[in-house]
Amino acid sequence: MTLNPMQPAHPAKPAASGKGADIKTFATAVLLTFGTGVLMMDGWALLDSGFGAFLGLVCAGFGIFWWRSIHGKVFPRELSTKSVVILTVLNVVLMLLLLLQVG
């Protein structure tokens, strides 16, 4: 009698690859960079000084650290579309806040 090892019910899916994952990673890099700049400008507009921009930079650093703690990397290869959409909405809100402060 021979013992045959059990086969998995479903084959393992390969890691995310291709153009979709690359586009999401690129969009994340652009949105995090843009968001950092807008947050610095929000701080400058709110406090009317370079110290406000510095506080915006510190807040952006904590935000990027938080992003990394959630996803494991700052620019993960396997990123959900939901995360990119939330990051986009956050950038739009920061930009609207800046426009309300300036206008």
What's the mean pLDDT in 19-26? 90
Segment 31-60 mean pLDDT: 94
- Give 59: exposed, middle or buried? Use CB within 10 Å, 0-12, 13-18, 19+: middle
Instruction: Give the span between the Cα atoms of 75 and 81, in whole angstroms.
Output: 13
Please give the average per-residue pLDDT across 45-56, as a whole number.
92
Q: What is the pLDDT of residue 52?
A: 93
Specify the DSSP class assigned to residue 29.
H
- Helix 19-47 crosses helix 50-71 at what angle (to 10 degrees)? 150
